[in-house]
Each structure stands twice: as structure tokens, then as C-alpha cells.
Amino acid sequence: MSPAMNKRSQQIPRLGKALLWLSLDDEEYDQAVGDFEERFRRQAAEEGPAKAHGGFWAMLARSLPLFMWDSLYWRGMMMKNNLKMAWRVIQRQKLYSFLNILGLGVSLACLLVILVHVKGELSYEASFPKSDRIYRVRTDSQFGSTTRQWAASAPAMGPEIEKAFPEVESAARLVAVGPRVIRHIPSQGPPRMFTEDRMFLADEAFPAMFDLDYVKGGPGSSLRDPHSVVMTESFARKYFGGEDPIGKTLIVEDFKDQPLRVAGVVRDLHGRSHLKIDALVSMPTFSAWAGFDILSHRTLKAAYTFVLLRAGQRPETFEAKAGAFMKAYHAAQPTRVESIRLQPIRSIHLHSKLEGEAGANGDIIYVIVFSGAALLILLIAVVNFINLATAQSFKRVKEMGVRKVIGARRGQLIRQYLGEAGLLTALSAVLAVVLLTFAIPFYNRMTGQAMSLGAFLTAGGAAGLLGLLILLTFLAGLYPAFFTTAFRPAGMLKSARTPGSAAALLRKGLVVFQFVVSIFLVFGTITMAGQLRFFRRADLGFEKRNVIAVDLYGDLSEKMAAGAGALKAEIERYSGVTGVALTSQLFGTRFSNERLTPVGTPDKNVLPMLRFLRVDEGFIRTAGLTIVQGRGFEAGPDRKPAYIISESTAAIMGFEQPLGLECLSDVHDGQAPIIGVIKDFHFASLHSPIEPLVLEFSPGNAGYLLVRVQEGRVPEVLEYLKRKVSEVSPDHLFSYSLVDEVFDRNYRSEDQSYALFKVFAGLALFVACLGLFGLSVFAAERRVKEIGIRKALGASAGSVCLLLSGTFLRGVILANVIALPLAFLAMRKWLTNFAYHTGIPAGTFIASAALAVLFAALTVGYQALRSARQNPVDSLRYE
Amino acid sequence: MNMLSRSEEIVLLAVWKLRDNAYGVPVRDQVSKDTRQEWSFGAVYKPLKQLLHKGFVEKTASEPFAERGGRSKYMYTLTPAGRTALREVRKIHRALWTEECEAAFK
């Protein structure tokens, strides 16, 4: 037999050995290889090497599954053991566990709320199956030096796009109806009457494009004929109760002679969308209401145009041809500068802030900031975990030493540590869920959303949470596990010192990090509060408080116009009322976009866009505006059309001597003179610069009656107005708003952000202080004897206090030095979002620094004072 | 109480029968002979580990042997608890197999 052959019959194959090694522990591996090899040799000697190989592999194949199953079984037993030990550790170290569970639980709850919030923000339009192919056509118009970016486009645009672009499968227009009183008169019983502001005029193609789910009627023809309406189930229930609504009629106030016939009912739209739709009115109704063929209007930005691209088509192909299309579209007006682009419908909610949006949209910036802040707070809690674990590892050094001496391997100790971390994380998750039940109502109140605990109970949510917990366990447990188990047994048993100055340095660094984040958030919150205060209190150039705006429509607006304002005059005489005026739109909303054309201008397409407001003679006085030139509108029987312009209108139009200039507006043909100039004032939110404004004397276009009331008499005057209106027009649904509330609604998004941010800043500081408290307690415990000796030698309580808290406070001060400049830069950037904003006063720096230092000092000082006041006899006897 | 499973009982009896020579290879041979079935090493180790855990056998490593590639034999010996366990099993067998059963399943 050759030596090679000999070797081949002596040893089991190397691959087999490797497989055994993989599935067995050290000693069992030794035993198994021995047994396998003994059998192998015997068989090789008796029956030859070939047989022996066959026998070996057969035996291995039968054994391996059993080995693996067995090792899983024993791992499970070990895990149970580890968990039991971990539970004992948690019980023994009550403070440590409490601080960790509280910190992690609070920040986990916070993160979960934000995750669901973000998921909601990102899920807009997702419930429409074709949403990835639906785009909105946006229009950019250039007027002289002004640009307008519209969310809407002209009614004629949709059908022409559909014809001109083969990429477009269908186009559908949507026109907001605006708040209207809708009435249903049943065959018996009182009429049902509600104000609806979620109604739209829609093209026939709309239901198919958005896959509306018809319960009654069909998608095919329900929106073809004028005066037909399709509604959601809950809308139908509101007016018709349990009756079948098909064929029944609804009456729209202002168009009483044109009742709407119900042609279909669709399921309620539950998914989030920037379009809040309760009912759709057929598009031809639009022209019937307008009294002319408004649907072929080529410039009026009245309709949202949605296009459905064919599968596989890119918006870029569309946009490449859009220039040529627009040239052809405006062939009759070659000087008109306009371009169109496509917005993916899914990006509208977070990325679009154009003129004439269907509602207030969200902002991607806040989504990012909130997620970031929530993650940072969680990180602060993880840092607590690491810091507390390494800081008190000296307590466990002996335990680890003993375990090592009696034969624990490092892997086992690491597993034990991770088991502890895992158990703490799991307990904090339980706390987080408990906290969520409190946090969710708070969140809902703040954001107007309807989040429920159920949102977390999905399979994906559970899996995600589990994954997060495992990640947290490793993040928080891995470093302490490696750190504490790294020491040699001899050293571990001997010493009672905290091992490793590297860990102490890391700990200090992490504390600085925690406070950098906290101070940053506090600074941000204070700045936001300042800006919001500014929003509310800034001098707008008119007085927004104590003004009631009564909605005028139907009967009431006719009565208001009739009798040369007799009703108005009567209201003005009521005690407590100091001014009454008519206006077409309310402050704080976007006014109409039009041009003012001086008589004799050759091409009005070069003129800038101005804001128009149609008012009566009482407006300037009631709003409290200042006339700088000329005069206001005048009452009296011979009221003539006239304009009053603002100073910035005079500037942008280049009028040197505006008074007496005859002008035309876009909607009225008759010319009228400019009779006065008023000082600029903030009629829109402070987000954007003051725009040029034109007031046109036109009480017939009034949409609201403004009533200025003496301070404190708003409720009383409201009662009077309600009574008066029901006297004049008994059938009328009285609706009103307060001008300052309408105006401040523009700051809702900032209000919500501020409310959330305040909570974040508070939580960050709280969790950071939890960690600091733990660290100071452990530091004091470790230095108990040192303090005793110092005191015995005559140190005062104050100096001991300073000694104990000094290290930590130095860290917090360093954090201030890092955080304040960063926060300053970030918040200065944020403030530039607003055309009008406050500065960042020195007080903000002082306040955020002081807040952080104060909280840190209180946290650390409590423990320091306690140790400093201890009788040295007790601490020195302590062994 | 810790009752013996069937495979534990078989392996434990084999260990007792083998006395001073009870390690992996002979134990496997013995149980295969006793049960007239071919047992794999895996099938033998599993009950042995359980028996060790329950304290019915002890495990000691011998001197290294050349035929095992210089590895030790891991010897199993019965503990007093193991003997008691076997006695218990025997009692249970007796109680289960009444004379009537014996006659019926001859």
C-alpha cells in the first residue's frame, strides 16, 4: 500500500471534518471525529477504502440533521438561562434599568408616532391605482416683471392636450366649486341644507382616471349631461337618508333654477389625497352656471387639468413638446408668455406650493426634520444605554471575572450582555406602547389627523418593530458587551476601578453629543416661538382683530345690495359696531389675479399681474387703511366705478401721477379713474412679500360683509347679526368667520410644527438628563470613599459638590459651544422661508444655554449635594 | 420525575452492558445489534447528551488513541441515579406487560 493510499484509508475526508466542525461544539467535535475516524479505519481495513468512504458519508448524512437540531435545542436552553440571568440583573439594578427603560420607551414612542406620521405624509394619492401615471398640468405665466406659477390651467387646455399629445391617454379637468349652500327638499319633512366646500366640477374621464368605485349608476355616462351630480355614499346619506338618491335633485344656492340630478353614487374616498372630494358635478354645468361658454376660455386659470400618460411614457417627452404646443395654443396672442409642465400627482402634497392649490399642502422639509429629530432622540436614549452600561461596568467586572475563571467563554458572556440589552429593549417597547395610547390623542388634536393604535398593528408594522428592537439591542448592547468582557480574569478580580479610560472619554463625548442635540432643538423651538409670535403680532397695516365676516350668498347678498345699503346702515347703527364694509374676498386668502390697463396701452400682455379686491365705500375705514394720496370711495346715490391703488402698484406700474388716470380691468369693460393711493399693507400672510394691490369700487361683487366690533363685544354682535339675517331672509343658513382666525390659518403648518418641535426639544432634554442623572449617581457611588476622606480632612460640602458636578457641567458647556453656532445657522436658514421674519436675538442664545445648563445642574446637583452632605463616618465605614 | 425516553433507555442499557468500554463506536454497535437496526452516531449522541444532562451517566476523556487519529475516547459510565432510572423503567415495563399482554403478543 502506498503512503498516499495509506493516508486515504486512515483519515476521514476533510470536507466531512469541516461539516462536523460547523455543527458541533469543541468537545463534541473531538468526540465525533474520533468515533467517525475509528469506524472509518476499521471499515477501510476490513472492506477497503471505497466501502469505508461510502459508509462514512452515509453515516454523516444521517447524523448531521440530528446534530443541527440538537444544537438548536441546547441554544434555546441557553437563551432561557441567559434571559433568566438578565431578569435578575435588571431587578438587582433598579435605577439603571429604570433609567434605561424610561429613556428608551419615551423615545421609541416618539419615533413610532413620527414614523406613522411620515408614512401618512408619503402615502398621499397612493390609493388611486393609476397614481404613478397621473400628472397635473401646471402653468407658469410671465406678465411684465411678474411671474405667476399656477396649480391650475385654463379650461380649454385639457381637451387640446388630449388631442395634441399621443402620449396622453386621457385628460380630465376638475374645478373647485367653493363653499356653497346645498339644499334638498324631500317630498315630506323639512328641507335638508348644508354648506359644502368639497364639491368639484369634473370631466367625464375623471371617475375612470381615478378609479372611483361606483355603487349606483355607471362611470360611463354619469357626468356627461349638464346638471348631473355624482356623490360619495356618506354625502348621499346626509341628504337622502336611506332613500335611493338616483334621479333625486339637489338645489345649489345662487343657481336655484338649475337643480342638480343625482346620476351616481361612489364609495367614500378614504385614502389620503390633496383632493378632498364629496361630490362631482358634470363639467358642462360650469358653462351653464357661468352663463357663457367658460369651458373654451383660453386664459382663465379655473381648472386643475390632470393627464393620464400611457404606460411607459415619460413626462419629459411631454414637456419637450410642450413649448411648441403652447405657441400653437396662444396663436391668437403671440405676446403671451406661458409654459406648462407636468407635476406627478404623488408629489403634489409635499412638494407643491403654487397659486390656487386645492388646499394647504404639507412640506417635505418638515417630514425630514421630524424624522431626523425623532431619530436623534432615540439615539440619545441609546447613548444613555451605552453610557450607563460602561459607567457601572466596574460593578460587574468581578462577576465577569468569576464567570471567566469557572470557564465561561467570551462569546457566552457577550450573549448574556446582549440578552440583558434585549430584555431592557423589549420592556421599553412595552412602555412605548403604553405611552402611545396617551400620545396618539395628543397627536390627533394637534394635526387634525385620525391616527389610531390600529395603525401599528399591521404585520409589516410588527415585523418592523421587531427589527427595530433587534437593531436597538445590538446598537445599545454590543459596545458594552465587548467592552466589559474584554478584560483578563486576573485583572478583573483584583481591581475595583472602572476599566479603561478610553470608555470614560467616549462617555464624555457621548454626553456632549446628547446635549448638542438637546440644545439645538431648544434653540430651534425658541426661534420658532419668536417667529410665530411675530406672525401674530406684527403690524399688518390693518387691524385684523375684532372683525366678523358674514358670508354673503343667495338671498342675503341680494338684500344687502338692495335699497342702497339700508340693511348695512342699520347694522352699522347697532351699538358696539364701529364699521361695516363689503368685500369680495377675505384678508389672508389669495386675492384675484388681474391686470390694470391704463387707457391707450397697446399690448396688455406686458403688464404685471396685480391683486384685485372689490369693495365698497366703508372698506378703507373699517379695515383701518391709510390713504396717502387722493381720497377714498364715496357713499351717495351717484356711486361711480373707481380704483384706489397701493403704493407698490404705483411703483410697479411706473405711475408718477396716478390720480385721475383712466384704467380698464380684465373683467370690466368700462373705464374708471384712479382716485386714491393707499399705503401698502399685509393683506396676505407674512410668508410672502407684499404684492401690488388694486381696490375696485364694486359693491355688487361682495362675498363678505365685514363688521368691525368694539373689543370684547364679538359674541353679542354675532347674536344680533344672526337674528338680523334670519329676519331679513328666514331661509338663510347664517355662516361667518373671524378675520383674524382666517388670517392666522395661514400659519397652521408652522403652528403644528412648533407644537411638535416643542415636544421634541423637551423629550430630548429629558432623556439626556435621565442619562446624566444615572452617570452622576454611579460616579458618586464610585467616589464614596474619596469624598469621605476629603470631608474628613476638612473639605466643605460646596467644594465636594463642585468636584462631583464639575465634569458633567464642563461637558454641557462644551455642548453649548458646539450647538449654538450650528443652531444659529440652521434657524437663520429656516427664517429666510418667510419674507417677513424676526431676527435671532441674543436672548435666544442665553435662554437655550441657560436652560440646558440649569437642567443639567439640577440633575447632577441633586446627587452631588446628597453625597456631599453625607457623614464621612458612614461613607468610610462602607465596605 | 425525569422519565427515560425509549432511545435513552436503549442507549443507557448499552452503556451498562459495555461496562469499561462504553464510548461512541461500541455503544453504536451495541444498540444497533440490540435493536436490529443501523443507528447513526447522531442518533446515539443525542440521547447520550440528554442522559448526561439528567445525570444518569458521566463522561470522561481517556488517553489518546492512535486509531482515532490521536484523539481521546469519551467514556460513559452509569451513575447511581442511572441505575435507579433503569430499575424504574423495568418496574414500569413489568406493570405495563401483564401476563395477559404477554400471552396475546407472543
Distance between B80 CA and the closest CA of chain A, angstroms: 24
Task: Please report residues of B whose CB lies closer than 8 A to that of A13.
Answer: none
Kindly identify which residue of chain A lies nearest to residue B67, measuring between CA atoms. A38
Question: Of A617, A711, A713, A601, which is closest to residue A666 (Cα–Cα)?
Answer: A601
Banded pLDDT at A465 (limits 50, 70, 90): confident
Banded pLDDT at A360 (limits 50, 70, 90): confident
CB contact under 8 A, B24 and A32: yes
pLDDT at A824: 95
pLDDT at A563: 63
pLDDT at A121: 87
Residue A222 has pLDDT above 50, yes or no: yes
Distance between B32 CA and the closest CA of chain A, angstroms: 13
Say if CB A166 and CB A181 are below 8 A apart. no
Contacting A with CB below 8 Å, chain B residues are: 23-25, 28, 40-43, 45-46, 49, 65, 67-69, 71-74
Question: Of A715, A712, A708, A713, which is closest to residue A582 (Cα–Cα)?
Answer: A708
CB contact under 8 A, A32 and B72: no
How many residues does the structure list for chain B? Answer: 106
Kindly identify which residue of chain B lies nearest to residue A29, measuring between CA atoms. B71
Task: Please report residues of A whose CB lies closer than 8 A to that of B45.
Answer: 28, 31-32, 63, 66-67, 70
Residue B16 has pLDDT above 50, yes or no: yes
Nearest by CB to residue A70, choosing from B23, B28, B49, is B49
Q: Could you tell me which residues are beta bridge partners of residue A202? A: A174, A282
Per residue in A845-867, pLDDT tens? Answer: 999 999 999 999 888 888 888 88
Say if CB A384 and CB A771 are below 8 A apart. yes
> φ, ψ for residue A548 (rounded to 5)?
-95, 135
Chain centroid to Cα A90, Å, comes to 37
Amino acid of residue A262: V
Task: Please report residues of B whose CB lies closer than 8 A to that of A30.
Answer: 71-72, 74
Distance between A52 CA and the closest CA of chain B, angstroms: 15
Best of A40, A63, A67, A77 to substitute, by most chain B Cβ atoms within 10 angstroms, is A63
Question: Of A353, A334, A331, which is closest to residue A156 (Cα–Cα)?
Answer: A331
CB contact under 8 A, A39 and B25: yes
Per residue in A149-197, pLDDT tens? Answer: 889 899 999 999 999 999 999 999 999 887 788 888 888 878 888 888 8
Per residue in A588-640, pLDDT tens? Answer: 887 888 888 888 887 777 788 889 999 988 899 999 899 999 988 887 655 77
Distance between A402 CA and the closest CA of chain B, angstroms: 23
Please compute the mean of the pLDDT values over residues B77-94 and round it to a whole number.
Answer: 89
User: In the numeric block, which cell numbers belong to residue A450?
Assistant: 385620525
pLDDT at A3: 44
First-to-final CA distance of chain A:
74
Task: Please report residues of B whose CB lies closer than 8 A to that of A52.
Answer: none
The residues near A494 (Cβ < 8 Å, ≥ 6 apart) are none
Q: Rounded to an integer, what distance in angstroms lies between the CA atom of residue A633 and that of residue A615?
A: 9
User: In the numeric block, which cell numbers belong to residue A368?
Assistant: 425630514
Q: Where are the beta strands (DSSP E) in A543-698?
A: 547-551, 577-583, 592-594, 596-598, 610-615, 627-630, 643-646, 662-665, 672-678, 693-697
Count of A-B CB contacts under 8 Å: 68
Residue A493 has pLDDT above 60, yes or no: no
User: In the numeric block, which cell numbers belong to residue A114?
Assistant: 413620527
- List, as ranges, residues 56-75 from A with C-beta within 8 Å of B: 59, 62-67, 70, 74
Residue A34 forms contact with B (CB below 8 Å): yes
Task: Please report residues of B whose CB lies closer than 8 A to that of A59.
Answer: 40-41
Residue A81 forms contact with B (CB below 8 Å): no
Residue A351 has pLDDT above 50, yes or no: yes
The residues near A711 (Cβ < 8 Å, ≥ 6 apart) are A546
Largest Cα span, chain B: 54
Per residue in A76-99, pLDDT tens? Answer: 777 777 778 778 888 888 888 899
Q: Could you tell me which residues are beta bridge partners of residue A674? A: A643
Per residue in A503-528, pLDDT tens? Answer: 778 888 999 999 999 999 999 999 99
Q: Could you tell me which residues are beta bridge partners of residue A696? A: A614, A643
Place of cell 475516524: A37
Distances (CA, A) of A702 to A225, A235, A569, A609, A707: 31, 29, 16, 22, 13
Helix (H, G, I), strand (E, B) or coil at A317: helix
Task: Please report residues of B whose CB lies closer than 8 A to that of A25.
Answer: none
Nearest by CB to residue A34, choosing from B42, B43, B73, is B73
Q: Rounded to an integer, what distance in angstroms lies between the CA atom of residue A145 and that of residue A609?
A: 9
> φ, ψ for residue A418 (rounded to 5)?
-65, -35
User: In the numeric block, which cell numbers belong to residue A118?
Assistant: 411620515
Q: What is the ipTM of this complex?
A: 0.85
Residue A36 forms contact with B (CB below 8 Å): yes
Torsional sign, CA A332, A335, A336, A338: positive
Kindly identify which residue of chain B lies nearest to residue A20, measuring between CA atoms. B42
Distance between B27 CA and the closest CA of chain A, angstroms: 10
Task: Please report residues of A whose CB lies closer than 8 A to that of B74.
Answer: 27, 30-31, 34
Distance between A89 CA and the closest CA of chain B, angstroms: 26
CB contact under 8 A, B69 and A37: yes
Residues of chain A with pLDDT > 70, as a percent, come to 95
Kindly identify which residue of chain A lies nearest to residue B66, measuring between CA atoms. A38
Residue A806 forms contact with B (CB below 8 Å): no
Question: Of A801, A812, A804, A876, which is closest to residue A849 (Cα–Cα)?
Answer: A812
Residue A41 forms contact with B (CB below 8 Å): yes
Residue A38 forms contact with B (CB below 8 Å): yes
pLDDT at A636: 66
Best of A12, A21, A26, A31 to substitute, by most chain B Cβ atoms within 10 angstroms, is A31
The residues near B10 (Cβ < 8 Å, ≥ 6 apart) are B31, B34, B35, B47
User: In the numeric block, which cell numbers belong to residue A237?
Assistant: 346619506
Best of A6, A24, A33, A35 to substitute, by most chain B Cβ atoms within 10 angstroms, is A35
Give the CA angle between residues A193, A195, A198 to the nearest 5°: 130
Per residue in B26-55, pLDDT tens? Answer: 999 999 999 998 898 888 888 898 888 888
CB contact under 8 A, B24 and A34: yes
Residue A2 has pLDDT above 60, yes or no: no
Banded pLDDT at A4 (limits 50, 70, 90): very low
Nearest by CB to residue A62, choosing from B23, B40, B73, is B40
The residues near A298 (Cβ < 8 Å, ≥ 6 apart) are A154, A156, A157, A329, A330, A332
How many residues does the structure list for chain A? Answer: 879
Place of cell 449635594: A865
Q: Could you tell me which residues are beta bridge partners of residue A292? A: none
A482-509 burial, b for 16+ CB within 10 Å, e for fewer? ebbbebeeeebeeeeebbbeebeebbbe
Best of B68, B73, B76 to substitute, by most chain A Cβ atoms within 10 angstroms, is B68
CB contact under 8 A, B72 and A28: no
CB contact under 8 A, A35 and B41: yes
CB contact under 8 A, B41 and A30: no
Task: Please report residues of A whose CB lies closer than 8 A to that of B11.
Answer: none
Q: Rounded to an integer, what distance in angstroms lies between the CA atom of residue A19 and that of residue A27?
A: 15
CB contact under 8 A, B68 and A34: yes
CB contact under 8 A, B71 and A37: yes
pLDDT at A190: 82
Nearest by CB to residue A37, choosing from B28, B43, B68, is B68
CB contact under 8 A, B71 and A10: no
Kindly identify which residue of chain A lies nearest to residue B61, measuring between CA atoms. A31
Pairing of strands A260-266, A228-232: parallel
Residue A498 has pLDDT above 60, yes or no: no
Kindly identify which residue of chain B lies nearest to residue A70, measuring between CA atoms. B46
Nearest by CB to residue B40, choosing from A31, A59, A74, is A59
pLDDT at A1: 40
Read off the pTM. Answer: 0.75
pLDDT at A844: 93
Residue A564 has pLDDT above 70, yes or no: no
User: In the numeric block, which cell numbers belong to residue A374?
Assistant: 425623532
The residues near A654 (Cβ < 8 Å, ≥ 6 apart) are none
Task: Please report residues of B whose CB lies closer than 8 A to that of A70.
Answer: 42, 45-46, 49
Please compute the mean of the pLDDT values over residues A416-430 and round it to a whole number.
Answer: 87
Question: Of A769, A809, A799, A777, which is closest to residue A869 (Cα–Cα)?
Answer: A799
User: In the numeric block, which cell numbers belong to residue A642?
Assistant: 373707481
- Eight-state DSSP code of residue A135: E
